Amino acid sequence: MQSANLLVRKLQLMAPLDAADIAAVEALPMRLKEMKARTPIANEGNHPRECCTVVRGMVVRSKVAESGKRQILSFHIPGDVPDLESLFLAELDHDLSTLSTAILAFVSHQDLLDVIRSRPMVAQALWKCTLIDAAILREWIINLALRPAVARMAHLIAELHYRMAAVGLSSENQFDFPLSQARLGEALGISTVHVNRVLQELRGADVVDIRSNRVTITDLSTLNKMAGFNSVYLHDPRVQPVMVPDPS
Amino acid sequence: MQSANLLVRKLQLMAPLDAADIAAVEALPMRLKEMKARTPIANEGNHPRECCTVVRGMVVRSKVAESGKRQILSFHIPGDVPDLESLFLAELDHDLSTLSTAILAFVSHQDLLDVIRSRPMVAQALWKCTLIDAAILREWIINLALRPAVARMAHLIAELHYRMAAVGLSSENQFDFPLSQARLGEALGISTVHVNRVLQELRGADVVDIRSNRVTITDLSTLNKMAGFNSVYLHDPRVQPVMVPDPS
DNA sequence: CGTCGGGTTGAGGGTGATCAAAGTTTGTGG
DNA sequence: CCACAAACTTTGATCACCCTCAACCCGACG
């Protein structure tokens, strides 16, 4: 099954899995589900009984504050398991929804827990997935708090490019990224109007062209420089180290 | 040993541990170390070979951006293991340092991995610790991105109060919080000057008094309201549910 | 052909940054 | 225990980035 393969390949990067480990993951009963764009998968306060792997498309984690404003916390691409935490945190503390039309593979907590119990290395690999997820959240914080709007945008694009490339979905510096400017603003903590101006600036500087559903990076090294991008936090051996020197 | 007890008590909340599990944790060789305030424990780029539990005092995670500005990512209180991720993420992607004078208990990765291998429930409990850590990071993002400065400050104080209270370190709505206004600014993403004005506002409104090393909450319910505080993300059974209704 | 979501543009305003300087507390060595 | 330095707090003034509001445009789709 293709969805299991995607997961196996990712988990193999995380920990040394033997044949039995791999067999156990491949044997996991997965319920494939195709979902429309912008459809909720689970919401804050839910008590999910299963986890989902992204097979195709993208998924967003978000949370709404008491003011009613929404903030996107992370984007998830094929191979990710965006709600893996729900295995041990009974109550979901954020919303999860599709961005594009997507195919998700659902696995019950019960089945997953069985594998975790019988295959410690698989458990470790999954654990490591959640740790990398947290590392990306930390960088997200840096992005929101420390960088001006243009750099913020550049960083988001750079991160997604490398993550997408790692699973073969960004070739020739192009990848699908189907979201409106309003949602880009929700991810970066800037207003829709300002997103528009930032995009124009990046387009005008011939660095990156972000349209409604596709990103084209014209000048990756300038993009990295503008973003101050440093790939360490991705903890992914498939990503070539990128390290922009300090301007000092 | 007191340091092991602190950890055991926390892990017991995370997963049902039996006597053998507890014995294994208590048997972990721990190297106690007293450290001065504002001393680095480990830095970005390091490859730690041990983890540390906070026994007394506080620890901060931070990261400096290419601009040279620093952002505090999280505060860690007694019972926390702020670098647990280093077990599986070889290269540290942030800095870790003491805030106050602190006592830390160091455990080697090797010993920890042995326990994880032999005691699956302990592994699960530790895993859950890292998941809650990530949940707190998510709320930190909301705080930085969505709330104005005063609410941001209020939220930070409310969160710390509940976490400290859970380990018996916030009584009578007072707790130690030894950091300068400059560092508060680094945590909240606002300038030192503005931190000062925010503190005066909160003090003037008789909500909370934050001085150089101690926080006194005068009016907890107003504080929660200003913060839009909702305790779900802490995933801690010791914390009474707090839920501020939307102003809508 | 009208509507609707999304993109684009302009004008004005606010939150919080930056700069600068005066107090105040803390700490350290004499 | 005092003297002095260093770090931290406080206050005022100015300014920038980005927000909000408002209008208009465009293409998709019924």
Residue pLDDT, tens place only, A21-60: 999 999 999 999 999 999 999 999 999 999 999 999 999 9
- Taking C1' of D21 and every protein CA, the nearest residue is A193
* Mean pLDDT of all residues in B5-15: 95
Question: CB < 7 Å to strand C — which of 206-225 in chain B?
Answer: 212
| Structure confidence at residue B247 (pLDDT) | 59
| Structure confidence at residue A245 (pLDDT) | 78
**Residue A228 backbone class (left: φ over 0; alpha: ψ -120 to 50; beta: rest):** left
Confidence of residue B248 (pLDDT cuts 50, 70, 90): low
Q: Check B140 against A140: CB less than 8 A apart.
A: no
Amino acid at B19: A
**Facing residue for A141 by CB, picked from B73, B116, B246:** B73
- Asked if B132 and B236 count as a contact pair (C-beta separation under 8 A), the reply is yes
List residues bridging with B51 in a β-sheet.
B107
Q: Check A68 against B138: CB less than 8 A apart.
A: no
Compute the distance between CA of residue A181 and CA of residue A187 in angstroms, rounded to an integer. Answer: 10
Compute the distance between CA of residue B80 and CA of residue B126 in angstroms, rounded to an integer. Answer: 10
Is pLDDT above 80 for B43? Answer: yes
| Separation in Å: C25 C1' and B222 CA | 31
| Structure confidence at residue A58 (pLDDT) | 96
| Separation in Å: C7 C1' and A220 CA | 25
Chain mean pLDDT for chain B:
95
Residues in chain A predicted with pLDDT less than 50, given as ranges, are none
| Separation in Å: C20 C1' and B193 CA | 12
| Structure confidence at residue B171 (pLDDT) | 87
**Facing residue for B144 by CB, picked from A66, A141, A233:** A141
| Structure confidence at residue B131 (pLDDT) | 98
> Any idea how long chain B is?
248
Is pLDDT above 80 for B3? Answer: no
Compute the distance between CA of residue B133 and CA of residue A138 in angstroms, rounded to an integer. Answer: 11
Whether A193 sits with its Cβ under 7 A from any strand D atom: the answer reads yes
Q: Check A66 against B142: CB less than 8 A apart.
A: no
Whether A100 sits with its Cβ under 7 A from any strand C atom: the answer reads no
- Taking C1' of C17 and every protein CA, the nearest residue is B191
Q: Describe chain A by its helix, strand, coil percentages, rounded to 5.
A: 45, 20, 35
* Mean pLDDT of all residues in B97-107: 94
Query: Nearest 5 degrees, angle CA A51-CA A78-CA A80?
Result: 45
Q: Check A124 against B88: CB less than 8 A apart.
A: yes
Of A1-10, B27-36, B90-99, give the lowest mean pLDDT range: A1-10
| Structure confidence at residue A2 (pLDDT) | 63
**Residues in chain A within 8 Å Cβ distance of B61:** 138
| Structure confidence at residue A248 (pLDDT) | 53
**Facing residue for A247 by CB, picked from B66, B137, B247:** B66
| Structure confidence at residue B231 (pLDDT) | 96
3-state DSSP call for residue A217? strand
DSSP state, residue A243 = B
pLDDT tens digits along B139-190: 999 999 999 999 999 999 999 999 999 999 998 899 999 999 999 999 999 9
Q: Is B3 exposed, middle or buried (0-12, 13-18, 19+ CB in 10 A)?
A: buried
Residue B213 vs residue B81, higher pLDDT: B81
| Structure confidence at residue B212 (pLDDT) | 76
